[in-house]
Structure 1
Amino acid sequence: MITCDVLVLGGGIAGCSAALRAAELGADVVVVAKDSLGESNTAYAQGGIIGMPPPDAHDSAELLASDVEAAGAGLCKPEAVALLAEQGPILCREFLWKQVGVDFDHTGALEPEPTAEAAHSARRIWHVKDATGRAIQTALTAKVRAHPRIRIFESHSLVDLLTVPHHSRDPRRVYDPIQVWGAYGLAPDGQVRMCLARRTILATGGLGYLYLHTSNPASATGDGLAAAYRASARIVNCEYVQFHPTTLYVPGRPRTLLTEALRGEGAHLVNGAGERFMSKYAPEGLELAPRDVVSRAIFQEMAATGEPCMYLDLEPLKARLDLEARFPTVLATCRKAGLEPLAQPIPVVPAAHYFCGGVAVDLDGRASLPGLFAVGEVSCTGVHGANRLASSSLLEGLVWGYRAGEACATESRDTALPDPDSLEAWKPVPPGPEPDPLLIEQDWTSIRTTLWNYAGIVRTRDRLLRGRGDMGYLYHRIEAFYRAAPLSRSLLELRNGILCARLIFKAALQNPESRGCHYRLD
């Protein structure tokens, strides 16, 4: 058994920021990573993070807040947006740049040089070429590894949150309110470990892998969301799944994100005939309209033309940008796929990118269950509303991670851990054969195809009803599978994935209003 003041489940920008802040304030911190520390959605973010604008820029916290709320389609939480707009750029400068040492692209005066992105009223995006997330993650990971008050456990999968009364040996505790005291994790040796913590922070990321086309890695299976739901935490806004308009389309290969900054700098979307089409769908915003608008435009143009993809034309950028220097990741990715992006438009399709819903939290990341916090994509702070503004997710993870770390360090000083002997150890199933990987793969194919077809970019009641029914049947089959087989990472992910799929269908059916990235054709 492991004990600590603060348990952080996840190691992206939100989890690392929380761990560092809590440790700085004297807390004994444990960080649990599903893969190696730093292998997270953060590392795949290309475009950038909202930073401090130059002194002479026509920008302000109020203007940033206005942009966030406009993208969120009237569903943002005003106090959360104000917090992000006021504190986020300051933390980006003082914590990420100065303290952590992220080497943002800068001018000769060594001030970070911002770029533009869709739906932003000013150039305020700090970046490291087109691999900003990787640079931030690398710097944060190094700081976390070096901190003497942080212990790291890698290649551990979250099994479930540890709660009382659910995991109490005393049946009389059933009358007590639910309290979170850590988590159970599956270690690389196949054993389930109990980690007893005064405060627990979920920073497990999103659920993009539930969709057939996604910019997320295969590890984005909704583990934290599912665990929070099973523990009875409040979950909100599950219908709002944002699709990124431009991922590289190569038949038979996983989709790869093509940064929003390409369109921010002036790249055009064209169809197979080389014609710009955004004027038909977003005459005012064109390529820089909000992501849900651009994604639907591409989807509709594909349907109208019968083409399997649209194209991103970099020709307008060539005269004023050194594309080899500014977008090396994009160019290398295309060339690896056998494409020459400087000589031909890049084939693109929309893909599931970011989950705007999640565990409902307050301004410090505090969830509805005592002892539990959630930060980053697994949480719902209210910042994103019905649709996320470009480059705001890294900033949200930074702000809420930092604040949650601070709150957890403070609260843990006056919190006594329960007696370990009063809690149940994890009860393994009897030894048996390992789960058949073919069965798991087939179930994942069903989940991913059903969500893409019935709860994707465009939705209808009939499609959602069909998908909910299919997922309900599959859920019961997977639960029986889970309870009879030895634990494995793949089985845990499948169990979490089907539960999250049901949450998306339920929420989408309950909301008949088209808003943001939840678009009901009917």
Structure 2
Amino acid sequence: MKTEVLVIGSGIAGCISALTIAEKGIEVTLLTQGEDLFTGNTRLAQGGIVYTGTGDSPKLLEKDIYTAGWNYNNKRAVRAISKNGPDILKKLLLEKYPVPFHKEDDGEYSLTREGGHAVPRILYCADHTGQSIMEILSKSVAEHPYINVCSSRTAIDLLTNHHHAMGTEFMYTLSNRCLGAYVYNESKDVVETLLADHTVLATGGLGQVYLHTTNTTGSIGSGVAMANRAKARVINAEMVQFHPTAFYQGTRSRATRRFLISEAVRGEGAKLINSSGEAFMHRYDPRADLAPRDIVTRSILEEMLKTEEECVYLDAANHVKHNLTTRFPTIYGRCLETGLDITKQPIPVVPAAHYFCGGILVDEKGKTTLDGLYAVGECSCTGVHGGNRLASTSLLEGMLWGYTAGEDIGLRASKKSAISKKVLNAIPDWESPGTNANEDPALIAQDWTFIRSVMWNYVGITRSTARLNRAINDLQNLNRNLRSFYKETPISRPIIDLFHGCQSAMIVTIAALRNKKSIGCHYRID
């Protein structure tokens, strides 16, 4: 199949990109792994999205982003999001695709504050901001005549003329270009060849390669793994942000995804306490509970080691002035399901892998180092986050770069097809790697447990040369076995995910070993 633009991923970045391109009358094919557009991490975002507050300015937002990012940020990207982000948010999410953000009695938008922010500047919809955004965007996508949504699709590999085009004339070209992707259609159990003039990766993060994470099951770094294989540049892969407060239900509960207790709870005044009921964050940082996430995460870890406890607690009942049942209805309801009433009891919390600050290197327009390939959202690295992400900037970044990538593609795609028919005709259909029906769910589950344990123990919140070397050896051995298995076994979604997950775990680990300095969420104990 041939499409003008192929968008792989259906979160805020993918949807905004698709809508921006389609608004120019350009055909877009949008892929989602699930049956609808609600399978990614965007719908899980509780806290909110950065806007602009009273006494706020682009310079003040820049300062907060730099501080959280340990001044490891890309200055051009920080300037772009601070200057243009709020204006584009107003244009898109307040006017064109109006999201029902919470308002005060006088009709003005409510603004909250989270860790690392100098002023309240965050728009929110109670504690389900991402869900509300996706409800609006998914409806707009579904109704747009120029967007074709393909569900139950998993991208296997990016197509390039260097790697896939058949014919000697393509062997000797200096420039490499992305031409689309091989895509697994789960509902029909076939691999489709999707050719495209422009391809946008919006595949999200990689939290699922860790034992404890707040991410959805599809967040295994597939976009990063595919881009890396296609020789697009990946940077800052060691920068994995751990959220300090994920709901803890005991060691017996190793859920696929841990429920997030939003930073907005601390933003509204909640205090972290130990098992003795003592607030402890002031001992680790003068900003106490509103310190940036990497500092809060390591402080919690140190407090747990000091007290020999399995978790710490977040006390909202005695410190938040709002009605917790209406300000945080999702959190209240989820905790109540387990028998915990957050209006009366503190919430047990532990850190969990949350956000990937690194990714596929892109410029201010979302372009990667591979011609024809764009990346937006969490799988990309704009450089906005540097060493650590400032709270609630991820939705803004995904929205802004989804828009700018869409605008840039719109200018290029409106002229003429970027790829000649000769090149497109030189791309072969997928050939099944093998016929041995030896896929064993128990073995795949064990391999995932192995990857997640290695990453949590050796490439987690604190790292050392010895741990990282051990992780690389373990992952390389598994990767060799998976490559052999991959060549012999008919393709399936579990096999694709496992293959991508192992590769993205290796990318993070190698980057962590190479970076000898402790910066932000990459913390070396040696």
TM-score, reference length from structure 2: 0.97
**Matched ranges for 1:415-454 at <5 A:** 415-419=417-421, 420-454=424-458
**Counterpart among 52, 57, 63 of residue 66 in structure 1:** 63
Structure 1 counterpart of 2:281: 278
The residue that corresponds to 1:181 in the other structure is 179
Confirm whether residue 29 of structure 1 aligns to residue 32 of structure 2: no
Whether the aligned pair in 2 keeps the contact of 1:196 and 1:417 (CA below 8 Å) is no
Structure 1 CA distance, aligned partners of 2:430 and 2:317?
Answer: 58
Secondary structure of 1:340's match? coil
Q: How does 1:7-406 map to 2 (within 5 A)?
A: 7-35=6-34, 36-53=36-53, 57-176=54-173, 177-188=175-186, 189-251=188-250, 252-254=253-255, 255-282=258-285, 284-318=286-320, 320-406=321-407
> Shift of the alpha carbon at 1:253?
4.3
**What's the offset of the Cα at 1:421?**
2.5
The equivalent of 1:490 in structure 2 is 494
Write the letter of the residue equivalent to 1:42.
T
Q: Which residue of 1 aligns with 2:413?
A: 412
CA distance in 2, matches of 1:274, 1:328: 25
**What does the per-residue CA deviation read over 1:61-84, in whole Å, with 9 as the maximum and x for residues that have no partner?**
110111011100011011100100
Q: Which amino acid aligns with 1:37?
A: L
SS at match of 1:316: coil
2:245 maps to a residue whose letter is T
Moved more, 421-430 or 266-275: 421-430
Output the CA distance in 1 between the equivalents of 2:432 and 2:475: 27
The answer as to whether partners of 1:52 and 1:90 remain within 8 angstroms in 2 is: no
> Residue type matched to 2:392 in 1?
S
- Encode CA deviations 1:149-201: one digit per residue, 9 max, x unaligned: 00000110001111102111113312222100111100021111111111100
Q: Residues of 1 paired with 2:520 and 2:360: CA distance?
A: 19
Distance 1:490 1:387 in 2: 31
SS at match of 1:505: helix
Please tell me whether the aligned partners of residues 52 and 93 of structure 1 are also in contact (alpha carbons under 8 angstroms): no
Q: What are the ranges of 5 or more consecutive residues in structure 2 without an aligned counterpart? A: none
Q: What is the distance in 1 between the residues matched to 2:279 and 2:300?
A: 11
Residue 20 of structure 1 aligns with an amino acid whose one-letter code is L
**Contact 1:242–1:292 at 8 Å: present in 2 too?**
yes
Question: How far apart, CA to CA, are the structure 1 residues paired with 2:375 and 2:146?
Answer: 21
Aligned-partner Cα distance in 2 for 1:517–1:495:
26
Separation of aligned partners in 2, 1:472 and 1:231:
19
Alpha-carbon displacement from aligned partner over 1:39-91 (angstroms, at most 9, x marks no partner): 210000000000132xxx11111101110111000110111001001111112
1:433, distance to aligned residue in structure 2 (A):
1.2
Amino acid at match of 1:236: I
- Alignment RMSD (CA, Å): 1.1
AA aligned to 1:513 is K
Residue aligning to 1:503: 507
- Which amino acid is the alignment partner of residue 440 of structure 1? I
Distance 1:430 1:129 in 2: 50
SS across alignment from 1:83 = helix
Name the SS for the 2:318 alignment partner: helix
Alpha-carbon distance between aligned partners in 2 of 1:17 and 1:240, rounded to the nearest angstrom? 25
Distance in structure 2 (CA, Å) of the matches to 1:498 and 1:193 = 23
Whole-angstrom distance in 1 between the partners of 2:469 and 2:504: 16
User: TM-score when scaled to structure 1?
Assistant: 0.97
Secondary structure (helix, strand or coil) at the match of 1:152 reads strand
Deviation at 1:109, TM superposition (A): 3.4
CA contact (8 A) 1:6 1:409 kept: no
The answer (yes or no) to whether the contact 2:48–2:130 under 8 Å persists in 1 is: yes
Deviations 1:397-430 (A, max 9, x none): 0000000011112112233433242111111134
Q: Is the 8 A contact 2:39 2:218 kept in 1?
A: no
